[in-house]
Amino acid sequence: MTAKERHRSPLGACLVRCHPEEVTENTAAAELRTLIDERVQAIASRDAQYLADAQDPEILAFNVLPPLRLRGSDQVAEQTRAWFDGYADGPGYEVHDLRIDVDGSVGATAFLYHVTGTLLSGDEVSMWVRATLVWKKIDGRWRIVHDHESIPWDPSTGQGLASLEP
């Protein structure tokens, strides 16, 4: 372990003798953490516009909901509104096991999220999803340029496994 590594907190924040690029990366990681927290709040309040504003207009998204891919924040916002409208209660959205990586003006957040709620049909939802968001700092603001969500699948049946838990 180097001297520099001994002076890091458990969260990876450099406590002493930081190089300027480490301070910048730690600040960026904190900014991305805040944006993830705001994302959770936006989903809780069904604020599709906030979520759309966090995205680059040219975002490429592979979400767990159809279609296979979405191009552009307008398509993603439309899908998000439809997702919200499908719930009588919810959706609940909790982020777990968040990992944040930053290199300059590019960052990635990877996490599991748990969706809960009651659909308009009365069916209860409780599913875990894997997610990776790729962020780019554009004009001083972090924007999501790629959103990739997935659930594991059973190779013997070809079916998605939305009921798995961490």
Parse the chain into domains and list their residue ranges.
Answer: 3-160
Whole-model pTM: value is 0.84
Looking at the domain that runs over 3-160, which CATH code has it been given?
Answer: 3.10.450.50
Q: How far apart (Å, rounded) are the C-alpha atoms in residues 94 and 143? A: 21
**pLDDT given at position 140:** 96
What is the mean predicted confidence (pLDDT) over 68-91? Answer: 97
- The whole-number pLDDT of residue 51 equals 97
Residues 6+ apart with CB under 8 A from 96: 111, 112, 113, 114, 166
